[in-house]
Chain A
Amino acid sequence: MRNRSARKKVKERKLWLPILVGTCVFILNLLLWQGLLFQERLQIKRNVEIVTVDISEDITSEIKTRTHALKRMAERWELEGGTPRSQWEEDATNYLRDYKGYQALEWVDNLSFIRWIVPQKGNEGVENRALLFESNRQIAMNTAKQTRNPTITRVVSLFQGGKGFLIYVPLFLKNNTQQDTQVGAKEQNFDGFIVGVVRPKPFLDAIINKNLMQDYAIAIFDKDQEFYTNELYQNINKEYTNKWGFYTEVNLNGVNWRLRVVPTLSLLARQHSPLADIILVGGSVAAILIAIVVYMTFNLRLYANTVEQINLNLSHEISERQKVEASLQQSTAQLEDLYNNAPCGYHSLDKNGIFIQINDTELSWLGCKREEVIGKKITDYFTTENALDFETSFSVLKERGYQKDLELLLVRKDGTKMPVLVSASAIKDAAGNFIMSRSTLFDISERKQTQDALSESEERFRGAFANASTGMALVSPQGKWLQVNQSLCQMIGYSEQELLATTFQAITHADDLDIDLSYVQQMLKGEISTYQMSKRYFHKLGHIVWVLLSVSLVWDKTGKPLYFVSQIQDVTDRKRAEVKLRNLSNALESAVEGIAQIDIGGFYISVNYAYAEMLGYEQEEMVGMESKMSVHPEDLEKVTYAYQEMLNKGKSEVEARTLRKDGSIFDRQIVMVKNCNQEKLIGHYCFVKDISDRREVERLKDEFVSVVSHELRTPLTSIRGSLGLVANGVLQAQPEKAQRMLEIAVNNSDRLIRLINDILDIERIESGKVMMNKQICDAALLMTQSTEVMQAMAEKAGVSIKLNSVSARLWADADRIIQIFTNLLSNAIKFSPPGSTILFNAKVGNEQNENIPHIIFEVKDQGRGIPEDKLEAVFERFQQVDASDSRKKGGTGLGLAICRSIIQHHDGNIWVESVLSQGSSFYVSLPVISAPKPTILSNETNTPTVLVCDDDHSARTVIQTMLEEGGYQTITVASGLEAIEIAKQSLPDVIFLNLMMPGMNGWEALTILKQQPETQDIPVIILSGFMPDAKLGTNHPEVNDWIVKPPNEKNLFEALERALSKSDDNLNDNLKVLIVEDDIDLAQVLIAMFERYGIETHHARNGREAIQLSQSLTPYLLVLDIALPDVDGFAVVDWLRHHNHLHQVPLVVYSAIDLTEADCARLNLGQTLFLTKARVTPEEFEQRAIGLLNCIVSGKKEGRRNGKAHSHH
């Protein structure tokens, strides 16, 4: 650093001197140059001056000459006494010819008129011109006249145009006779002038030396007026003129001209000697050169110093070096030692690849001596292929300067080959030329071996990896795919690149990911060395691929996990098969049908649950059992036959009896199917169904059919037989017999009819095709009716029926119940001996069922009775107890069965108790339905509230009790203030107000109550010990009523009702009910009922009237009978619904039959009440209807009250 700045300083120092010197010289040079220039200028100026003078003299002399000539002309004139014109003109022309530059020659007479002019051409109009008044001319003329000498005018304007001057030569005639002493004489001789008219330009152009004209710009001034310039002058620069121009004067006769001469630039240039320039340039150059010289000199000095210094250093160094050399020699020896004995081979080659140096190690490898090797080409010691490679790399080495890690095979002297690793660097000279190589060789034979082995195994692995039929992958500990084989890629549809860019987590199914990761963690921690799991990958296309994953982890030497080796097997198919199998297996197991697999030998291979259960075995114990064993011996042949059929046709079906484990028999339907494995029979499958039930049903059906058929045929037989006899006239002789036969025919026909009816009946009942027409019935009524029906028959049989009817509310099909009763009675009659009594009674109780009350009817006869074993059987179809059954007596055998069916449809029960030869009791139980809850009049949903205000506690209690028993809600307060408050809050329907109360008394309270808008409408009943004041009276406007304590209940309620109805008065006025009922009697009943409540009732007899009336009045309630003569109730309701103000009308639908839900929906208007005539007693109807009405009214009241209260808020 310091050197550099020092050097800089030195450089600067070095520089200034030459600069200085150079500058000085330069300046001197400049000065010289300037001096020269100055001299030159002077010279030029002198020249110009000379020239100017020359010119001036030229002009003067020239003009003098010309003037002279003119004078001669004049003299001639003078002598001749005036030259004649033509002569003069000739002379003039000659003169003009001789002397150039004249415009013209004139003779001006003594009166100053221009008389003659030559040449005529160009001077037209001048002749005879007067000059008298031309001042300049006159001056000159006068002067000439006086002096008798030619005179030149000033520059004047010529008559010909332009400017010029005139030379006037006076003419004085010579008169010998006269003397010139007198002035007049002179005067008298004056004869004018000869004038030379000169245009300056041509004149002077002619005069002045041509050469000069070219070099100089000349101008002549007459006083200040410039009258002549030569061409050059016109272009001249003023400044320049001033600098170089020279003035002189030209004096002529009469004029003083100033002559200005300016040298032209070219003249200047010519006159300019290059010397100055040369001097300048030369000088400058010289200056520079001198500067350089100085600089160099300086440098040289410095250099010299430096060199000296270097020399000094060098010598110092040399001594040092000598020291070093000594130690170097020592090291070299060491180095050489090292070199030679290095564990690797060293050598150096020259540019041709020839050994110039080689270490001992390498020599030993080669098995040669140094002398043998040095000077030989290295390629001699390589294999031929290597030699080529070597040459190539050697060139590269020479170019590049280095070569690394070449694997070559060295050929030993003994011919064996040794693999070496060669690295070399090139040693170049300063010029970049290759001098030699320096190479290092490593014996890599061992490495090579291992390498080869490794690469071989690697190859094998790679091959195995790449070509494995299962997916294989190497995965990083973080889950990134490091390497994947083709099979894996194909399996999951991604390309190798795609996979390598992602992780296994990315394509693993979410459900499997956690387990997988936990395994991974365990492996990373070293807890497990491998794991295996089934998991799902997402195929690139999106579907799931089930795989079996086996993973192991490879660790590095330091114990860090390197990568996972994963084997992935596509088990989708397997999984699918598994699932299918599982499903199938499940299906098989859960099959209701028994399925068994049997081998060729006829032994069970496997059975499903149902099969085993069917046969009463365990699944496991059946395996290996002989299937024949379970077949009933009698059916074995059938089964074997079916087996043969299966072998032929592949499938067969047979029904056979089967033996269970416990020996019991049941019927089975067996379907056998051949089981083949590639055309070879390996057994068969059995599908079995327990058809016992079916059999049973079939059997029953068959039986029934046969029984029915028999039953039908039996009367038919009688008919056929009897009629046949009669028809054939066999009994012609026995008319009574014939008659008897006809009777038989008729009877049996009837029997047949009854039978057929019953059969149909029971079938219909049991198949559910018959709808029981249930309604509310009274048990007593039914009993009575049944008894009446059977009365005749009973009488005929001489049997009496004792009826004890019991009333009960039943929900049943009355006709059917009667059917039952008549049947039972009929049976009883049939089996009762004459004179006996049949008891028909009933009992209500809860015996059967705890929750639901039942009524049990009893028909007790005193007949033969029924044996115990037949007590159930009698209710079966076509059961005959014995020959003397009711069948004989015209029964169909189905009666009791039908009864049972009917009873079953009524949730009831029928049974019989009997004592043989004493009689039987048939019992029928039916559920009893409860009566609807009685509704309290006017207190249905909106129980009126009464506020009782009395400070006397006992009085309050008494009143409260009374009211609550009457069904009113009560609120009690003890003071007027409270009463006001509570009344405002709760808005009771009536207020009982005591008068004598402490604090605020009754009157005060009353006043306030009547003032408050919320409470002013509430009726107040005074409850006081006092009698009403005569003055105030019960006509107190604000008091509804006055009750004197202690209150009489009747009075209390009456007053209450009055009060309530009074408040309803307004509303009641509007209360209208429309009754739509075609039955006039019923309608009148209803009307009367409503009117009792003071309700305005209207009646419509049919639908049309109903609609009409509805339009004219707006009923609060509509009582509607559905069955109307013309327009039925539905239609009326429909119509009402479509009219705005009527669609919310509360409705009481009073119908004869029960309505279905659908019907009810159709009939809904506002609040609708559905009452069935049969179901509801008149009192109930009243209750419900009025209740509904009250409901509506209170609702309206509430609404109104709310409205009122609301409006005041």
Chain B
Amino acid sequence: MAKRILIIDDEDDIREVAQLTLEAVGGFEVLTAESGSEGIIKAETEQPDAILLDVMMPEMDGITTFKQLQANSLTSNIPVILLTAKVQASDQRRFAELGITGMVPKPFDPMTLTDQVVEVLGWQY
């Protein structure tokens, strides 16, 4: 059974690319959400195996979304990988403190994206 990954990112193109990447390369089933709030709802309902979460989003940013996911019992156990352009050390530290499982920097090499996801999640494909 293919793993299902939820991509939460406000940028259409990125979602598209990421989706294609994960589907084509990783063979994952990909769900997308445009915003943090949408993402939470989808996470609750769809219960994906992992969430790829963008940090910089209007309205509800990635961290807030994450916290909410953590707070939400339905989603708290879903591993979350941050997909972010914010890659400075201070940021990394912050994210780590929060309990993020992994981080993928933007821009990403689509090939490695899949690998990273897999590695982080400890899956095999």
A744 engages B88 (CB within 8 Å): no
Separation of A747 and B17 alpha carbons in the complex (Å): 13
Report the nearest A residue to B35, measured CB to CB: A883
Residue A466 at the chain B interface, CB threshold 8 Å: no
The reply to whether the CB of A710 lies closer than 8 angstroms to some CB of chain B is yes
Residues of chain A within 8 A of B17, CB atoms compared: 717-718, 721-722, 725, 741, 744
CB of A706 within 8 A of CB of B88, answer yes
Within 8 A of A (CB), among B9-61: 10-14, 16-18, 20-21, 24-25, 34-35, 56-59
B109 proximal to A (CB < 8 A)? yes
Q: Which of A298-306, A347-355, A371-379, A727-735 contacts B (4 or more CB under 8 A)?
A: A727-735
Contact present for A724 and B109 (CB under 8 Å): yes
With the chains together, A475 CA to B13 CA distance in Å?
103
The distance from the CB of B35 to the nearest CB of chain A, in whole angstroms, is 5
Partner of A725, one of B14, B24, B34, B35: B24
What's the interface size class on B, roughly?
Answer: 20 to 34
Q: Is A720 part of the contact surface with B, judged by Cβ < 8 Å?
A: yes
Which A881-918 residues have a C-beta within 8 angstroms of B?
A: 881-885, 887-888
Asked if A1200 CB lies within 8 Å of chain B CBs, one says no
Contacts A710-B85, A741-B20 given; does A883 touch B59 at CB 8 Å: yes
The minimal Cβ–Cβ distance linking A1043 to chain B, given in whole angstroms, is: 83
Question: In the bound complex, what is the Cα–Cα distance between A734 and B113 (angstroms)?
Answer: 20
Render B71-87 as a binary contact track against A, CB cut-off 8 A, 1 for contact.
00000000000000110
Cα-based distance from A730 to B109 in the complex (angstroms): 13
Would you call A980 an interface residue if the criterion is a C-beta within 8 Å of the partner chain's C-beta atoms?
no
Does A678 lie at the interface of the complex (its beta carbon under 8 Å from any beta carbon of B)? no
Specify which of B14, B20, B24, B34 is in contact with A717 (CB 8 Å cutoff). B14
Given known A-B contacts A714-B106, A721-B110, A731-B24, A744 and B59 have beta carbons under 8 A apart: no
Whether B85 pairs with A713 at a CB distance below 8 angstroms is yes
Whether A730 touches B25, Cβ cut-off 8 Å, given contacts A713-B106, A883-B58, A883-B59, is: yes
Q: Which A residues are CB-close (under 8 A) to B21?
A: 721, 724-725, 730
Q: Taking the complex as formed, is B107 at the interface, i.e. its CB lies under 8 A from any CB of chain A?
A: yes
Whole-angstrom CA separation of A888 from B18 in the bound complex? 16
Min C-beta distance of A306 to chain B, whole Å: 151
Given A714-B14, A717-B14, A721-B17: A881 in contact with B107 (beta carbons within 8 A): no
Q: Given A722-B17, A725-B20, do A717 and B35 touch, yes or no (CB 8 Å)?
A: no
Are A720 and B59 neighbours in the complex by a CB distance under 8 Å? no
Whether a CB of chain B sits under 8 angstroms from the CB of A709 is yes
Partner of B107, one of A717, A731, A740, A885: A717
- List, in ascending order, chain B residues with CB within 8 A of A716's CB: 106-107
Verify if B118 is at the interface (C-beta below 8 Å from A): no
B58 to chain A, nearest CB (A): 4
- Nearest A residue to B17, CB-CB: A721
State in angstroms the CA–CA spacing of A730 and B19 once bound together. 13
In the complex, A748 has a CB within 8 A of chain B: yes
| Bound Cα distance from A737 to B57, whole angstroms | 26
- A772 → B minimal CB distance (Å): 32
Instruction: Please tell me if A715 contacts chain B, counting CB pairs below 8 Å.
Output: yes
- The reply on B111 being an interface residue by CB < 8 A is yes
CB <8 Å contact, B16 and A744? yes
Of B10, B13, B56, B108, the residue contacting A715 (CB under 8 A) is B13
Interface centre among A712, A713, A881, A884 (most CB of B within 10 A): A713
**Interface residue A583 (Cβ < 8 Å from any Cβ of B):** no
Asked whether any CB of chain B lies closer than 8 Å to the CB of A595, the reply is: no
A728 to B58: give the CA distance in the assembly, Å.
33
With contacts A706-B86, A713-B107, A731-B24 taken as known, whether A721 is within 8 angstroms of B34 at the C-beta atoms is: no
Tell me, yes or no, whether A1133 is within 8 Å of chain B by CB.
Answer: no
In contact, B108 and A717 (Cβ under 8 angstroms)? yes
Closest residue on chain B to residue A721 by CB atoms: B17
- A880 within 8 A of partner (CB): yes
Q: With CB as the reference atom, state the residue of chain A lying closest to B112.
A: A724
Quick one: which of B13, B25, B107, B111 contacts A747, CB cutoff 8 A? B13
CB of B24, distance to nearest CB on chain A (Å): 4
A728 and B111: CB pair below 8 A? yes
Alpha-carbon separation in the docked complex, A884 to B110 (Å):
25
Q: Which residues does chain B contribute within 8 Å of A105, judged by CB atoms?
A: none
Decide if A670 is an interface residue (CB 8 Å cutoff): no
Q: Give the residue of A720, A734, A737, A888 whose beta carbon is less than 8 angstroms from that of B12.
A: A888
Given contacts A722-B17, A724-B110, A737-B20, contact A717 B57 (CB under 8 A): no
Answer whether A885 and B58 are a contact pair too, CB < 8 Å, given A717-B107, A725-B110, A737-B20.
yes
A 974-1018 contacts with B by CB, 8 A: none
CB pair B107 A720 closer than 8 Å: yes
Closest to B56 in A: A710
- Is A719's beta carbon under 8 Å from chain B? yes
- CA A744 – CA B107 in complex, angstroms? 14
Residue from A706, A718, A728, A888 with most neighbouring chain B CB atoms (10 Å): A718
What is the minimal beta-carbon distance from B2 to any residue of chain A, in angstroms? 16
Residues of A within 8 A of B14 (CB): 714, 717-718, 721
Contact A720 B25 (CB under 8 A): no
Q: Are A728 and B56 in contact (CB under 8 A)?
A: no
Instruction: Tell me how far the C-beta of B17 lies from the nearest C-beta in chain A, rounded to whole angstroms.
Output: 4
Known: A709-B85, A883-B57, A885-B58. A720 touches B109 (CB 8 A): yes
For A748, the chain B residues whose CB sits under 8 A away are 13
The distance in angstroms between the C-alpha atoms of A884 and B12, with both chains bound, is 10
Distance from A751 Cβ to chain B, minimum over Cβ atoms (Å)? 9
Most buried by B among A712, A720, A721: A721
* Complex: A718 Cα to B17 Cα, angstroms: 6
Residue of A712, A714, A740, A881 touching B11 (CB-CB under 8 A): A714
* Closest-CB distance, B23 to chain A (whole angstroms): 9
- On chain B, the residues within 8 Å of A730 by CB distance are 21, 24-25, 110
- CB <8 Å contact, B18 and A714: no
Give the 5 A-B residue pairs with the shortest CB-CB distance, closest first.
A721-B17, A713-B85, A720-B107, A880-B58, A718-B13
B residues in contact (CB < 8 Å) with A: 10-14, 16-18, 20-21, 24-25, 34-35, 56-59, 85-86, 88, 106-111, 113
Name A's B-contacting residues (CB within 8 A): 706, 709-710, 712-722, 724-725, 728, 730-731, 734, 737, 740-741, 744, 747-748, 880-885, 887-888
Known: A724-B109, A725-B24. 12 other contacts (CB 8 A): A710-B85, A714-B14, A714-B85, A714-B106, A715-B13, A717-B108, A718-B13, A720-B107, A722-B13, A724-B21, A737-B20, A881-B58
7 contacts between A and B (CB under 8 A): A714-B106, A718-B13, A718-B16, A720-B109, A721-B18, A728-B110, A883-B34
